[in-house]
């Protein structure tokens, strides 16, 4: 069913998938804003690929529905498939085809006119760096080349939404860098729904992060908000070489302050946990300056996305 009006690029409502006794996806209610790069994080078996396959119409939900750009994707509506491009986790193509033939086939399936199709084929081959291999049989391609070709076929019809299931898993570091840069460039124009268990990739390009664990959506938050939410009230002070002798003394002094919860010295770094970040931000530097301590570095401690993810999915 087409929604009357929607601000969401992707919306799911109670989306559930059960394989026998196994609950692969448990009432997923998800809203992805248009133009965002959405990172869908989860351990292996969390339900990321199931969600992707449900959105792409390849699997049937046990319960619930999903919409892409307002068109229902879970009822076998082939028109909804024009609105997204999909790259499966292990992309597979007809080995007897060349990349040009494959992109031509996909372009025809999307109903692209001949002129537009030819132009888009060339653009896509250039985008994914497969121009030189354009007339080679796909059967001889490496995993990385298949992944690039997969991205090209997913983008050929200029979709509004791009569903990418582990798009960087088969790429070498250089390939990963290029693909992530390419996806980041799509921000604002295309909604990228990007599943991965490689947290560094998600951290690098995603503006919104959803964490899926054992089929349940634990959280959907803008990346910065998530990091802030899990930020600990601690500051790490690296003292100048000449000031390290005063480290232990400084820790004791800080421990006496009412806004300090704990202060610990470990040879080079003083780690100070505070009760109130705002007060600490105001009081800490004047106090240190008053003691004549020379600082090399002061950093408010933020956990990495990896630490947050591990904590959430523990």
Partner 1 sequence: MIIIALTITVLILIALPVVAATCLRRRAWSSWLLFLVGVATFAGSQAVHIPLNNWLADIGLLPPAGSLEGPPLWRTALILGLTAGLCEELARAAGLALLRRRLPLQDALMLGLGHGGIEAMFVGGVALAGSMATLLALRAADWQTLGLPADVLAQITAQMANVEQPYSTLALATVERCIAMALHVTFSVMVWRAFERRNVGWLVLAIAYHTLADMVAVYAGQLLASRWLMELAFLAVALPGILWLWSQRHGLTGTTESRRRPTWRSQWPAVAASLRKELLQVVRTRHLLIAMALFLFVGISSPLLAYFTPLILSRIEEMKPFADLIPEPSAADAMVQYVKNLTQFLLPGVVLLGMGAVAAEKERGTAAMALSKPVPRWGFVLTKMAAQALLLTAGTLAAALCAYLYTLVLFEPLPLGPFALVNLLLWAWLLVYAAATLLGSTLGKSAGGAAGIAVGLCGALLLASYIPRVGPLAPGGLVAWASAIGPGLKGVAPLIEGVPFTNAAALGIAPVLVVLMLVGAVGALEAQEI
Segment interacting with partner 1 (CB under 8 A) among 108-116, 192-200, 203-211, 231-239: 108-116
- Pick the binder of partner 1 from 39, 47, 64, 88 (CB under 8 A): 88
Minimum CB–partner distance for residue 272 and partner 1 (Å): 53
Under the binding rule (CB under 8 A), the answer on residue 115 touching partner 1 is: no
Using CA atoms, how far residue 181 sits from 35, 37, 165, 187, 265, in Å, is 16, 12, 17, 10, 40
Determine, following the binding rule CB under 8 A, whether residue 79 of this chain makes contact with partner 1: yes
Is 276 among the residues that bind partner 1 (CB under 8 A)?
Answer: no
CA distances, 65 to each of 16, 164, 216 (Å) = 9, 20, 16
Residues 162 and 85 sit within 8 Å (Cβ to Cβ): yes
Name the segment binding partner 1 (CB under 8 A); options: 95-103, 191-199, 249-257, 276-284: 95-103
Residues of span 229-258 touching partner 1 by CB under 8 A: none
Q: Which of 13, 101, 276, 283 binds partner 1 (CB under 8 A)?
A: 101
The yes or no reply on residue 118 touching partner 1 (CB under 8 A) is: no
Site string (53-72) toward partner 1, x via CB under 8 A? x--xxxxx----------xx
Residue 131's CB is within 10 A of a number of other CB atoms, namely 13
Per CB under 8 A, which of residues 141..200 are in contact with partner 1? 153
Cα 15 from chain centroid (whole Å): 20
Least distance CB 41 / partner 1 (angstroms): 22
Q: Binding to partner 1 by residue 13, rule CB under 8 A? A: no
Rounded to the nearest 10 degrees, the angle between the axes of helix 143-155 and helix 114-127 is 140
Residues sharing a CB contact under 8 Å with residue 161, sequence separation 6 or more, in sequence order: 9, 10, 68, 69, 83, 84, 85, 190, 191, 193
Cβ neighbours around 11 below 10 Å, total: 21
Instruction: Choose between 57 and 175: whose C-beta lies nearer to partner 1.
Output: 57
Sole binder of partner 1 in the list 18, 35, 110, 279 (CB under 8 A): 110
Nearer to partner 1, 81 or 148 (CB): 81
Nearer to partner 1, 117 or 176 (CB): 117
Contact flag: residue 6 with partner 1 (CB under 8 A): no
Using CB under 8 A, count the residues that bind partner 1: 34
What are the Cα distances from residue 115, in Å, to 80, 111, 120, 128, 160? 24, 12, 9, 20, 21
Q: How far apart are CA 104 and CA 107, in angstroms?
A: 5
* Of 47, 289, 313, nearest in space to 199 by CA: 313
Interface contacts to partner 1, rule CB under 8 A: 1-2, 53, 56-60, 71-72, 75-79, 81-82, 86, 88, 90-94, 96-97, 101, 105-106, 108-111, 153
């Amino acid at each position: 069913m087409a929604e009357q009006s929607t601000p969401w690029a992707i919306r799911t409502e109670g989306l559930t998938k059960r394989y026998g006794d196994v609950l692969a996806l448990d009432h997923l209610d998800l809203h992805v804003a248009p133009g965002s790069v959405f990172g869908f994080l989860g351990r292996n078996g969390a339900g990321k690929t199931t969600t992707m396959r449900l959105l792409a119409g390849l699997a049937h939900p046990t319960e619930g529905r999903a919409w892409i750009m307002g068109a229902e994707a879970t009822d076998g509506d082939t028109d909804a498939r024009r609105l997204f491009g999909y790259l499966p986790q292990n992309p597979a193509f007809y080995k007897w085809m060349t990349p040009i033939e494959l992109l031509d086939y996909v372009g025809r399936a999307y109903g692209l006119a001949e002129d537009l199709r030819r132009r888009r084929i060339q653009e896509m081959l250039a985008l994914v760096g497969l121009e030189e291999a354009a007339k080679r049989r796909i059967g001889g391609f490496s995993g990385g080349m298949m992944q690039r070709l997969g991205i090209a076929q997913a983008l050929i019809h200029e979709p509004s939404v791009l569903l990418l299931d582990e798009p960087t898993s088969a790429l070498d570091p250089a390939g990963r860098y290029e693909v992530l840069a390419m996806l980041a460039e799509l921000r604002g124009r295309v909604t990228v729904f990007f599943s991965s268990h490689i947290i560094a990739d998600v951290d690098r390009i995603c503006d919104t992060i959803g964490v899926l664990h054992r089929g349940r959506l634990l959280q959907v938050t803008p990346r910065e908000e998530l990091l802030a939410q899990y930020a600990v009230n601690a500051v790490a002070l690296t003292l100048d070489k000449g000031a390290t002798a005063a480290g232990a003394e400084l820790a004791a002094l800080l421990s006496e302050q009412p806004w300090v919860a704990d202060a610990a010295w470990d040879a080079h770094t003083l780690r100070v946990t505070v009760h109130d970040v705002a007060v600490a931000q105001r009081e800490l530097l004047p106090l240190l300056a008053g003691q004549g301590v020379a600082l090399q570095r002061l950093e408010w401690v933020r956990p990495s996305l990896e630490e947050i993810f591990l904590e959430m999915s523990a």
